[in-house]
Structure 1
């Protein structure tokens, strides 16, 4: 028999957050969702009523994150799964970004995600268990030119979640990183941002990211409904999977780059060991 749960999900108005929310409500679960504008959820709120709890939230506002999560746990009593989903992509060469864009990308994707998890942990500990699901990306394990700031946030949140998972396993809290490749959501062509163009980078591979986003013609292979279903089902896996790669493109590029990194590390084994003090010294 399928277990009914209450989920807290950031960014439920579009993308994976919207897909998950629709599927969860349709199967009878409850969802506490955050959005930038409540009006974007009028249709689901009218259909599901009290089973959809909503709050406005800007992930760059740490005080608001804590306030919203405190309120959600207080009003819903127990939340079984916390999904840190909200975020966006900032693309272009690192030099092209404005300081304001850099700060906002890191504040949203990295610091905001960290603070969502930190705010939820005391409640999950108190209820003696729960699940944290963090949306990362193929860009959390592999890199592409033109994605340096986005990669900084995703590689950062992966390290954070990996370490937190070790810290909280004793409290029956599981942590899972989701690493999707390209999916047919609004992420790539509607929510992504570009830095101001520097013509010199036309000769750089970084320009490929700009051309892809401005052209809007490459169709991603990933089905967001299938991906959302797998993310939801992961809450039934025990122990919690550490990582879930979604999409053939994610698998292929991560496999290639991880294999290359491991091979490069193996070549440095003797060099690495040579820097130790002699044994028994």
Structure 2
């Protein structure tokens, strides 16, 4: 684009969300960034001034989401790229999770993205353009023990987004599901929650997946997240997202991150093999 775009990015206070905001600002665009912690982006505000609007938002509050999206549109005059990034990982065997833990996971990772998409769509339809980027994961293609609630929230994110993409294509609006692999953020630290009431029967599962028979406490999780990571830096994902929104015909799904393509291929192969057990099923040929 020859003129500045306006981005609306949730969960922009740190990690991937912050990297998306920095990349968009560096490209000369405007950014409305939502955060949970006051002052999280003060340095970017100082550097970019009026090009950045920072607002506190809990994406599970539908009325607040609508108000903040409308405020962002009023400030910048348009919305071009919506990035639903806010979310966290809830870890626990399905039997272990209580109602509050499950509802909180779905409220944030799934319903938050729905509320933001609903709030933005009238503005995008009116201007006849826009791009909604849903930050998904390779965990929306396959599953992993202890990640059931997280997998459920991201599989559902992909389900509603696919339907929405077909609904809004005629209005000039694109939808992309960014299926990310591992990135060096605090997702495995303060952005991860563990079942409050571990069931001893799943100790061997925890040992296999987490390398310990129980769940780490907050200090252990934070220390692990601060350790040396082999994952890619968030800036790599940010560059990929910028490239995608620059495309005139962006993809419905984009796999991003080292090893992510292999993870998706493995998950799809498992599903193919499960279907293949039915003699009446034939996998479509290329």
TM-score by length of 2: 0.89
Q: CA deviation at 1:168?
A: 0.5
**Which residue does 1:241 correspond to in 2?**
251
Alignment of 1:250 onto 2:251: no
Q: Deviations over 1:132-160 (max 9, x none)?
A: 00001111111111100000100000011
Residue 203 in 1 paired to residue 213 in 2?
no
Q: Which moved more, 1:120-129 or 1:231-240?
A: 231-240
**Equivalent residue for 1:133?**
133
Q: 1:186-230, CA deviations, whole angstroms, 9 ceiling, x for partnerless residues?
A: 111221110122222112257624749656268342221111110
Please say which of residues 242-251 and 131-140 is displaced more in the overlay. 242-251
Cα contact 1:165–1:174 (8 A) shared by 2: yes
More moved, 72-81 vs 262-271:
262-271
TM-superposed deviation, 1:76: 1.4
Partners in 1 of 2:87 and 2:143 — Cα distance?
18
Q: 1:191 to 1:171 in 2, by over 3 A?
A: same
Aligned to 2:241: 231
Q: Shift of the alpha carbon at 1:237?
A: 1.2
Shift of 1:87: 0.6
Alignment RMSD, CA only? 2.0
The aligned counterpart of 1:4 is: 4
Please name the residue that 1:268 is paired with.
278
Q: What is residue 43 of structure 1 aligned with on the other side?
A: 43
- Aligned pairs for 1:1-281 (under 5 A) are 4-196=4-196, 197-204=198-205, 208-209=209-210, 211=212, 214=220, 216=224, 219-268=229-278, 270=280
Aligned partners of 1:219 and 1:41: how far apart in 2?
24
Q: 1 or 2, which has the higher helix percentage?
A: 1
The gaps in structure 2 that reach 5 residues or longer are none
Distance across 1 between alignment mates of 2:55 and 2:157: 24
Q: Secondary structure at the match of 1:32?
A: strand
Aligned length: 272
Q: TM-score, normalized by length of structure 1?
A: 0.90
Cα distance, 1:173 vs. partner? 0.3
